[in-house]
Structure 1
Amino acid sequence: MNATDAVVMRTHLQADLLRRRVEPAVAADPNRALFASLVAGQGTGFGCLGADLGLGTVAFVRMLNHFFPGPVPRTRARELEAIPEWDDLRKLMLDHRAGRHRAETWMADIVATACAGRDHLWQDLGLADRAELSTLLHHNFPALAGRNTGDMKWKKFLYKQFCAAEGIYVCPAPSCSECADHAKCFAPET
């Protein structure tokens, strides 16, 4: 399948998921569209996440039943090596959760898992673009996302926040604006 076909299939799968009947409160939850994008991206070969998005089978099925009751969409089996900082990244996000919904825990698990990928975080998640990732982080972890005032790339930002919380300072520059690698952290993501 070529890239254009994959994008078309992704769009159709996402639309199919969002057409499924749910209670009005669930339909109005912004996470519903984000989960549809995550599932559609994974199911059509985008991103690095495994078939359960890093949630484990039980939580994955709960998430699907909550947001998209009906037949389980086809997902692709993939192996992703675990990262030692997974628990710490998850905790960082959960410490800043909005506190509105259990979906925040699912999102923290998924994002922490995708941090093991080798591309931009939005790509590793299988999202359509960086704006979806920004929406995901601002909705679920607003206090944390609000700290990214310079529009740093999200994966770099999460790791920088994690390292700072642990008292680990790997950047020799006193501030990002003075760092020789500024363009690598803040350049547009393509």
Structure 2
Amino acid sequence: MAFAALAIESPQAAYARLMTARRGDPVEETLARILASWMAGEGVMPEWIGLGEHDFSRMMQHHFPKFDIREMRDIGLGVDLERGAEMNDLRKLLLASRTTCSQFETWMTSIVIAGCLGSDHLWQDLGLWERPDLTRLMLENFRPLAIHNTRDMKWKKFLYKQLCETEGIYTCRAPSCEVCTDYAACFGPEE
């Protein structure tokens, strides 16, 4: 089932409204960008940004208590349930790598997984405005994992590479990234 967002305002306008309704936690800036893009029909986030209605409501009440979430109904796409095993593997990887094991990091785990189901760069699929937003999100929420991305590999490729290594699957043809013909696809700029 697919839902279409009514793009009645720009992501920047939605972001401004969200920021005036927030509690004041620094993580809300990045989350507000994701929500604002989702509300404007940008990115590929599913309904309730991958959280389910109950958890979405709890997250919004906690972080944006002055925002009326009734206008957020019927926004987003349906989730591809045939990728359930992949989603479970990503969930295990991210939950095991949370920075502080907070409830917000648990919510962010579901949000990142939903973004991974898109076909573009992860920061774009999440609806973030630039790649540094995603790097900040990963370091704030999944620091034990994120610090291993020492060569600035693209985040979605990095996450899936971690899954492969966890399972002992090595699909790269080259003995190291530096000599691989696909080096630019993994480490080049995300424009």
- TM normalised by structure 1 equals 0.89
What pairs up with 1:32-111 in 2 under 5 angstroms? 32-69=28-65, 70-72=67-69, 73-74=71-72, 76-82=75-81, 83=83, 84-99=85-100, 101-111=102-112
* Aligned match of 1:126: 127
Which residue type is aligned with residue 72 of structure 2? R
Which one-letter code corresponds to 2:133 in the other structure? E
Alignment of 1:157-172 (within 5 A): 157-172=158-173
**Which amino acid letter does the alignment assign opposite residue 68 of structure 2?**
P
**Secondary structure in structure 2 of the residue aligned to 1:118:** coil
Q: Structure 1 residues 166 and 135, CA, compared in 2 at 3 Å: closer, same or farther?
A: same
Deviations 1:52-83 (A, max 9, x none): 00001100111110111131143523223132
Residue of structure 1 equivalent to 2:147:
146
Alignment partners' CA distance in 2, 1:30 and 1:100: 17
Q: Distance in 1 between matches of 2:26 and 2:159?
A: 22
User: Paired residue for 1:3?
Assistant: none
Q: So what's the TM-score if we normalise by structure 2?
A: 0.88
Residue 100 of structure 1: how far off its partner (Å): 5.1
3-state secondary structure, aligned to 2:50:
coil
Cross-structure match for 1:183: 184
C-alpha contact (below 8 Å) 1:51/1:78 kept by paired residues: yes
User: Which residue of the partner structure matches residue 16 of structure 1?
Assistant: 17
- What CA distance in whole angstroms lies between the structure 2 residues aligned with 1:153 and 1:42? 22
CA contact (8 A) 1:42 1:51 kept: no
Which residue in the other structure is 2:4 paired with?
Answer: none
Residues 83-118 of structure 1: per-residue CA shift (max 9 Å, x gap) = 231011111111111115211011111111111101
- Contact 1:48–1:80 at 8 Å: present in 2 too? no
Return closer, same or farther for 1:21/1:121 CA change in 2, 3 Å cut-off. Answer: closer
Unaligned segments of structure 2, at least 5 residues: 1-6
Work out whether residues 49 and 76 of structure 2, in 8 Å CA contact, stay in contact via their aligned partners in 1.
Answer: no
Contact 2:116 2:156 in 1 (8 A): yes
SS in structure 1 opposite 2:189? coil
Identity of aligned residues (%): 45
Root-mean-square deviation (CA), in Å? 1.5
Give ranges in structure 1 of 5+ residues lacking alignment: 1-5
Which AA in structure 2 matches 1:66?
A: H
Does the Cα contact within 8 Å between 2:50 and 2:110 map onto a contact in 1?
yes
Q: CA deviation at 1:21?
A: 5.3
Name the structure 1 match of 2:3. Answer: none
- Partner Cα distance (2:163, 2:76) in 1: 29
SS of 1:52's equivalent in the other structure is helix
Moved more, 29-38 or 129-138: 29-38
Q: Deviations over 1:1-53 (max 9, x none)?
A: xxxxx7x711111111111153xxxx1x3221111111101000111111200
The DSSP-based 3-state class of the residue aligned with 1:168 is: coil
